[in-house]
A and B are shown apart, each in its own frame.
Chain A
Amino acid sequence: MAAPLGTAAQADDTGDEKQDTQEKEAVAPERAEEAKLKAKYPNLGQRPGGSDFLMKRLQKGQKYFDSGDYNMAKAKMKNKQLPSTGPDKNLVTGDHIPTPQDLPQRKSSLVTSKLAG
């Protein structure tokens, strides 16, 4: 299923016309989509697909304020994944001295892939 080639060799008139319509049909949906996008985001960059994307691509990766911020975020992630201990969890701080049963289980840092399970 080859697409019509951009540079066609000399063809007869009907061939050219047919190819033109085919190309126009192939392009028209793209142009319609572009119009839709411009309508939604009128301030979209002037240069189509230009440096904005590339800069974003080169910058890939979540930025943190510093290493402390990074480690805090990692710790928060680990806690989020722990099973919730229920409404009693909130009582641990302040009101009474925590016991080992009250504290959430520490998740092991190395988990085997489920593909190997």
Chain B
Amino acid sequence: MKILTFFSLFSTFLSTNSINVEENAGQFFSSGHTNNWAVLVCTSRFWFNYRHVANTLSVYRSVKRLGIPDSHIVLMLADDMACNHRNPKPATVFSHKNMELNVYGDDVEVDYRGYEVTVENFLRVLTGRLPPSTPRSKRLLSDDRSNILIYLTGHGGNGFLKFQDSEEISNVELADAFEQMWQKRRYNELLFIIDTCQGASMYERFYSPNLMALASSQVGEDSLSHQPDLAIGVHLMDRYTFYLLEFLEDIHPASKANMNDLFKVCPKSQCVSTPGHRTDLFLRDPGSALITDFFGSVRKVEITMETINLTDPIKEAEQNPMSEKLQKVTYSYVDQLPVSEIIHQKPKQKDWHPPDGFILGLWTLILLVFFKTYGIKHLKHIF
């Protein structure tokens, strides 16, 4: 009897499962991305910028823990803190003063190190315009189904980010690089996080679709660092990334936390600066975008023992009804570039000519002075 109930339950379970799988096959195609990439950049060098390297390494650690492999991470560190002469604890980079967390770990793979971290290299990585001799580990080999996480940290200002204390990248250049990526179909969705002073200025100029941006401070505000460690002697991390790391430590690959939770990370009471975010270019509702869509590499895999009939056309799973303002026209690659607005027409050269009144006045005066000096008697020679 029990076996029969069990068997009937099992069969109903199986049958419902199979029906579910067929009906839910649409869910496999709802999020749009099939692979994840991460570009993590630390732009500052010198020992006192320890915290920027720690920032980047902590995001690297989270991203790797959540599943993105090293082959899909481009890690650019402008300086080497772990093996710096001034590091009292060599081969470690800590995130908190109690040395709780060594973000350097055992298997860090740095792709661009030291002086290789330049604006040119960064932009070349993003746009893919690298010389043919560049090894694969240094390339961002994304395609149009890739979700990319880009994390920048360093010293910045209103509209620029300083690289290596000698050059800077502007928000316009960054926006243009992302537009190039869009046109070359190098991303499906892109999450841009920046932890610098006045970081919000860096995402102000974005104009490509499917970008979401977060910054640690608004224009006019400085991003502050967390506590210093008295043994190491420098500030270990920046506040925003510290609380971001804390938040990410609670995320596991099956977590359903979404972007709205990420926006709440580090409120003003903890961060002192006001973190900002920008979602107007992002076509989905941020609430439907999972953290693991960007920070992890979650494969949609469901194991089933039966064959599934996919002859019916797969419909996309219904998404949450979007509010009016988020209803956007989906861009196609062809017609989203207003060429005539972007290519400036050269203004027609019309020569400037001095006004006639001026010429008249000047020569009248000259003639007046001439005749006053030399007398009216010369007048009869003219007329």
A binds B: no
